[in-house]
Amino acid sequence: MLLGGRRGRLAALLVGFVLGAWVFVPVHELLHAAGCLLTGGRVSELQVAPLFGGVFLAKFLPFVRGGGSYAGCLSGFEPAGDLSYFVTVMLPHLILAPVGALACRAAARRGRAFAWGLGFAAAAQPLASMFGDFYEAASIPITAIARVAGAAWAARLRGDDVSLVWEEVAAIGSWPPVALFALVCVTSIALSLALLRAFGGVVPREASVSATEGEDP
């Protein structure tokens, strides 16, 4: 077993997770910027809090600014269309989450608690971003369809902060935006869970099967 009832292993797991969460904040944001640049877009500002190395990164990358209201935020970018926008939002998850899940499964097989915690910090990003990046990703195709259907306000429902988007919905003051907002929220949950399932989870399949077979009928 990964922990085996040992407090030392639990402590190692927690240290690995905290370290991973700290490291993956700037990595995550830099992958957002890479997604935009690789698909033909432009990046003018990437905010990374000083606690997560923003001031250090700003010395090497001209578009990085140490500061902002969030741990990290791609605050200034111009994607080259909706596909570029979607890739920009999703690239960190499409790289970090499967790599993290793979690392977790390998660590579980070897009983490496620290490595499991480190990998889990990456693997769990779709859950942490369910109403952030995944809301924004889900909003891109849904609002694009709504605009084609004549909803000129639909683009106002795009964003990576659900609370701020809700303020926009309330400001419009009619039921269609509320319905569309609810649809995007449900889709964001489904997209997040679907990707987690596709990545295979964080426990080796044989361990899951063994645990199930050990249960009383």
Domain ranges of the chain: 1-125, 129-203
8 Å CB contact between 63 and 33: yes
Which of 187, 179, 181 has the alpha carbon at shortest distance from 157? Answer: 181
Tokens found for residue 91: 């690239």
Tokens found for residue 156: 């106002």
Calpha distance 117→27 (Å, rounded): 17
Q: Give me the half-sphere count of Cα atoms (radius 13 Å) on the Cβ side of residue 58.
A: 17
Tokens found for residue 84: 């570029």
Q: Which residues pair with 76 in a beta bridge?
A: 45
Angle between helix 175-198 and helix 133-148 axes, rounded to 10 deg: 130
| pLDDT digit string (tens) for the chain, length 217 residues | 666 667 788 999 999 999 999 999 999 999 999 999 999 999 999 999 999 999 999 999 999 999 888 899 999 999 999 999 999 999 999 999 999 999 999 999 988 999 999 999 999 999 999 999 999 999 999 999 999 999 999 999 999 999 999 999 999 989 999 999 999 999 999 999 999 999 988 888 665 444 444 444 4
The pTM of the full predicted model, rounded to 2 decimals, is 0.88
Identify the burial level of 39 via C-beta atoms within 10 angstroms of its C-beta, where 0-12 means exposed, 13-18 middle and 19 or more buried.
middle
Which of 101, 126, 113, 131 has the alpha carbon at shortest distance from 12? Answer: 113
Residue linked to tokens 């995007």? 184
